[in-house]
Chains A and B, each alone.
Chain A
Amino acid sequence: MRLGLVIDLDVCVGCHACAIACKEWNASGTIGPLSDYDPYGAEPSGVWFNRIRHYEMDEYPNNKTINFPMSCMHCEDADCVTVCPTGASYKRPEDGIVLIDQDKCMGCNYCSWACPYGARELDRSSGTMKKCTLCVDRIYDQNLPVEERQPSCVLTCPAHARMFGDFDDPDSAVSRTVRERSGYGLMPELNYNPTNQYLPPRSKPVIPVESKPKGGLKESIKQFANKLVRR
């Protein structure tokens, strides 16, 4: 199995609900808490596994706002795991999820240096590195109804911009969607082979911005006559 997420950039509305749901679930999950520093003060900061950036593509009138959620990509060739000196970072062979053993991490930050996607954040309270677990404490929970055995971010997304599934199965919903919509991984030139895939925004029709419609000879004569005749 190779579990991961598909994020539809055409659909994402940038509401940050996935980040909030992630924080809510994981703050009390196996890797929690996700410490906040100065949460009600002037400079609030803290640990998040999921962050949403907002981009603008192209120039007016062809511009488009793209909301860009990012969490751990659970890479096939995860350098964060190979550089870890303590063995705290590991990639599970059975489902490809990259995890950090909180009892082994010494907080050297080296894995965060090796991650191009900014997926790893140091928790300054515990002194250990933390990251997206793909809700490993939820997706296998036999006590939950089958349809709820999905990562928090996927369940909560009001726009259905997120999908969870197995990329090793060519007939899974995620594999099919990635095929049909030309899904892609980020920064392929670094060869990390990220599992999470992004669906590109569809081209939207350009709204015409010219105020005056161009007419033929008839229209020109009409405009000329309008200029002559005072009403």
Chain B
Amino acid sequence: MHPAFSVIFFTVASGAGFGLFSLLFIADVFKLGGGFTAEQLVIGGVIALALIVFGLLSSTFHLANPKNAWRAFSRFRTSWLSREGVFAVVFMPLALIYLASIWFDAPAWLRDGSGFLAAILAWITVFSTGMIYACLKTIRQWNSPLVPANYLALGYASGSLLLLLGAVVAGLDTLPYIAMSALIVSIAAVLKAIYYFWIASPGLSPTINTATGLTRAKVKLLDTGHTHGTFLTQEFGFQIARQKAGLLKVIVFALGFVVPGLMLVWVFEQQGGQWAAIVAVVAGMAGTAIERWLFFAEARHVVNLYHGAQRC
């Protein structure tokens, strides 16, 4: 699949935003490390919302006809893309109510109730983002429950690193935030490792024989029938060399999981270390962005069976 930059930015930014918002709510409820002040909570919430809004806006850049984008909310009953949009839009007012009730010191039931619902909706929205890809039977590398699991784990890992940075800047006791980050980042790493292991073997997947129905002998493509590239080759023809993909996977693990892990140790040792927390955030987000690029680059759509592939 052709990796579209706008979609990569969207999924990385909004995933981190939704993750940060949910974990901010948890940090607020349990007053982790002494608890953020109202002002700090609102600043953190606004940063999370900004990530989500910029992500959603960026996602409209890949549309060829954006003037009809408002119609995307209409097929909630069947389309995961529509569901994602609807959940994200329902999340917004609840998140704003939560932040407003912190700012204006509203009663606890309103603050905790709206925060809880917003956190649940954040989870559902990121799950829907993953399901957009996971529901496609045409792409073996995507048609797996590991995909929404990866989207959730990586979004929350980015969010937890952002929250840790917030805790360091605010001068809170960082220990609970380090523990939270360490747990989520290691879960994300394990899930990603299982995913890469899983997609490495083709399993039961369509072949050139089932794509043409000519199953009694070996089949090979003689001619694609077009003189130059088509929409299909531009959208689905992208292919990455196996060696390059392997190298990028090492970089994903190094930047996305190992560097943030080491930085967590640093923050723990120093009881502070603002720079270490910043490095953890930047490395984690960069690792996630490369992971997302690879997620698209490695996906092989079955239409390639009509363009020369023997198996997808």
Contact = CB atoms under 8 A, between A and B. Distances in A.
Interface string A188-224: 1111100000101100000000000000000000000
A1 B219 CA distance: 34
Contacts of A45: 226, 228-230
A70 interface: yes
Interface stretch (A124-132, A139-147, A172-180): A124-132
A104 B73 CA distance: 12
Contacts of A51: 225-226, 230
B231 A112 contact: yes
B78 interface: yes
- Give the interface size bracket for B toward A: 35 or more
A186 B303 contact: no
B223 A108 contact: no
B210 A187 contact: yes
Given A83-B80, A107-B65, A108-B72, A122 B222 contact: no
A56 interface: yes
Nearest to B304: A118
Contact of A43 (B74, B85, B229): B229
Interface stretch (A23-31, A60-68, A156-164): A60-68
Contacts of A112: 231-232, 235
A86 B71 contact: yes
B64 interface: yes
B75 interface: yes
Contacts of B79: 82-85, 110
Nearest to A115: B138
Contacts, number: 183
A35 B136 CA distance: 28
A55 B228 contact: no
Contact of A198 (B81, B213, B223, B301): B213
A105 B214 contact: no
27 contacts: A45-B229, A47-B231, A53-B223, A54-B222, A59-B218, A66-B212, A66-B214, A68-B212, A86-B71, A86-B82, A87-B74, A103-B68, A104-B68, A107-B64, A107-B65, A108-B72, A110-B79, A113-B138, A113-B139, A115-B303, A116-B137, A117-B303, A122-B231, A124-B231, A128-B64, A186-B210, A190-B206
Interface of B: 1, 62-69, 71-75, 78-82, 85, 132, 135-139, 204, 206, 210-214, 216-232, 235-236, 301-303, 306
Shortest Cβ-Cβ A-B pairs, 6 listed: A107-B64, A127-B65, A127-B64, A58-B217, A86-B71, A106-B68
